[in-house]
Structure 1
Amino acid sequence: MSSSECSIPIRRIINYTSGEDDLRIIRVQNMRFKVNPCVLRAGSAVFKSILKSRDSPIVLSGHTSAQFRSFLWAVYVQPLPSAKSIDIGRLCSIAEVSFKYEFHTLKLWSMEGIKALVDAPNSILRTARSEIFVRLVRLALLYRAADLNRAVQSKWLTRIHWHDLDPAPALVVADAYDLRHLLCHAYYVHLVNVAPRIAHSQSISAEYPLSIAQNLHVFCGYHSLLAAWRQLQEFPPAFAPAADCSAHDRCLIAWTARWALEVGRPSVFSPVDILRRLLFMERHLETDAVLQECMGAECRLAALDAIAKKRAEISDNLHHHFDL
């Protein structure tokens, strides 16, 4: 057997005798697979039709040979192990190929395993590479698995905002599939990464190969968020006076003064990274002794809450900043 031929040891896996004449050759990319067609026909009407061909080899496309190898392993292994014990990359391959060929038992088995691994207390998403997130989002869309889609996107965004993963793959996938929330926040974190280069009039195309249109959205976000930050430097978030506040003018003076001091402090965060700037400012002002002394308790809480609301407002409207 040549080095490009992969023989699946069917007779050692399933309990019936098969002669060499019953085997068929399937080629995927540059790899040939010698398979017994009976199980493929039984599990998939698509394969039943494909295997009517007398071509040798039968050429399949739309997936890699590695994906197809994982799929064949699941087709012939007996009994199927718990899907939760299988590597997430292999499960993705099985789910992808099973969907293409409508191999329903493996579609169900692989997706149940993926959901279990994603939802586990020690979720695989905590350490998964961007490639796995990309595949999981695509599978969730293929299988119309809304809960899986939400869980994967949520954890992906968390790790992107932690700067644990590059936002570019998320940006590309979200743009391709019109995943608005993921797209906006991927643009935001990507902008934070490239903002120093923009500020120094350096190219952002070489290191981060986005399309011309995508880079235009990045520049829109840069100028819009920079303008928003400058406005916040001048005007702190407004808050309503507490019902029992008898000296609200004093509260406003204290709040405005401490806000001006806070926005003027040197920061490790880019001016366009408004979300993190506001978060750290809120935490710092929460323990500010002057505000505790000079503002009524209810007014101070309302002012701090106004910062949180401003963060939420900016987060919910990132699409406007990036002109999406």
Structure 2
Amino acid sequence: MTQIPPDNHLNTSFSSFMQADPSSPITPKLQLQLSIPIATRDPEYYISDGNTVLLVENTLFKVHRSTLTKDKSTFDSMFSLDLDLRSHTSSHDASIGPEGESDDNPIRLQGDTSDEFRALLWALYSLPHELMVALTPKANSLQLFHLARITHKYQFRSVETWALNALTTCYTRPIPAPSFDEADGPTLSQITELAALCEQRELLDAAIMRWKRLLGEDKDVALALNVSERLNLRGLLGLSYRSMLLKGKDYWESDPHLSRSQRVRLLSGHYALGRLWERLPNEPPVLTHSTRCTGGSTVRCNQAWGALWKLILDMGKQVLPLQYADVLGKVMLAESVIRALVEKEIPTQGTLDGMPWCKENALTVTSSKVREIQDSLADYFSDVA
């Protein structure tokens, strides 16, 4: 019988025996064998009339090959290959029978967890009304997460699509939607990685929205940075670096979750954004003029717009405690002030008199500038000179 891979913990009865009689002639080989946990049959998916035994972690599953080959999964080609190999089985292998036909010689699945494989079997064996629960507020988000991961790995295409859609419904449902922080569910990092791996855009957007809320609350900044860098989520990466930038150099140096390369990129970003900020007050976004703004009016309009832009951006230097390199914060401030002026929420004090027909356009181009800087933030945090 092929031995099951050892666990890190000694069998309790063996440990007790050794303490009672330390002089007992136990060989190292026997000690290792006694410390190996015994594989146990899954209470639900060790099916009596199944024809294939699989070992996942330390759990034995007995199921039907025909069920695992549904959806043209990887198991279909795996079992076909197995049939070809059986014709070349040695006499030694024959003594314990073909792989997968007994508990003594199960098919071993590497890299999977028993929870993942159990979730797969749940989807393949459940009745329709049992599956429908996954589309309700009573859905088991962790089970759906395991299902999506393992169906992606083994190419159960239609089941994977269904699982991802159910998981997306679970996390985008208005009320009551589960929190990414629930102890019995997948973490936000796990959901983000799964959505990126499976290219599930809607689920990824929901996860990124949650990361942005955390950054706004100044929480899990290093974690967001590392996840977005690993998965190349450019929009989230830029915002994560900005949030870390605002914490200051002393904080970067002490945060154990940041690598040396990331600290270099933060210094680079501080320098690059600082240079951008020096230029920006004198470089107003190009204003699109109203059809009523022609001739000399266009010149006066451009002059008034340039003066207004510089005035508002200088507020970021002189009036409000915004950090020097927080260019995004400053243009967001500019957008808020211009909106308040256009919508007459604050006195204009003549600042809009020179652009009577183009003030709404000024707000439009400012909003575009905010998006442009936000979308390109990650580019400023580079370790390339």
Residue aligning to 2:19: none
Residue aligning to 2:127: 78
Give SS of 1:204's match: helix
2:180 aligned partner, one-letter code = A
Residue aligning to 1:24: 53
What do you get for the CA RMSD once the two structures are aligned? 4.0
The 5-angstrom pairing of residues 33-52 of structure 1 reads 33-38=60-65, 40-43=67-70, 44-45=75-76, 48=79
The Cα offsets for residues 117-156 of structure 1, whole Å up to 9 and x where unpaired, read as 35645595x843596554445444554x4xx22x234334
Q: What are the ranges of 5 or more consecutive residues in structure 2 without an aligned counterpart?
A: 1-36, 84-97
Residue aligning to 2:44: 9
The 5-angstrom pairing of residues 166-181 of structure 1 reads 166-177=220-231, 179=232
- Alpha-carbon distance, 1:94 to partner: 0.8
Residue aligning to 2:373: 314
Give SS of 2:248's match: helix
The Cα offsets for residues 68-112 of structure 1, whole Å up to 9 and x where unpaired, read as 333333333334412324323211211211232334553343233
- Alpha-carbon distance, 1:63 to partner: 2.4
Residue aligning to 1:159: 210
- Which of the two has greater helix per residue? 1
Using the TM superposition, name which of 162-171 and 86-95 deviates more: 162-171
Name the TM-score, length of structure 1 as normaliser.
0.72
Residue aligning to 1:61: 110
Residue aligning to 1:94: 147
Change (3 A) 1:213 1:24: same
- Alpha-carbon distance, 1:249 to partner: 8.3
Tell me how far apart the structure 2 counterparts of residues 135 and 183 of structure 1 sit (CA, whole Å): 18
Residue aligning to 1:297: 356
- Alpha-carbon distance, 1:220 to partner: 1.7
Q: How many matched pairs? A: 303
Contact 2:282-2:310 at 8 Å conserved across structures: no
Residue aligning to 2:324: 271
Give SS of 2:180's match: coil
Give SS of 1:209's match: coil
Tell me how far apart the structure 2 counterparts of residues 249 and 69 of structure 1 sit (CA, whole Å): 66
Name the TM-score, length of structure 2 as normaliser.
0.63
Tell me how far apart the structure 2 counterparts of residues 293 and 142 of structure 1 sit (CA, whole Å): 50
The Cα offsets for residues 173-220 of structure 1, whole Å up to 9 and x where unpaired, read as 44344x3xx23532333332343322xxx2525425233333322322
Larger Rg: 2
Change (3 A) 1:103 1:274: same
Change (3 A) 1:217 1:103: same
Identity of matched residues, %: 19
- Alpha-carbon distance, 1:45 to partner: 1.4
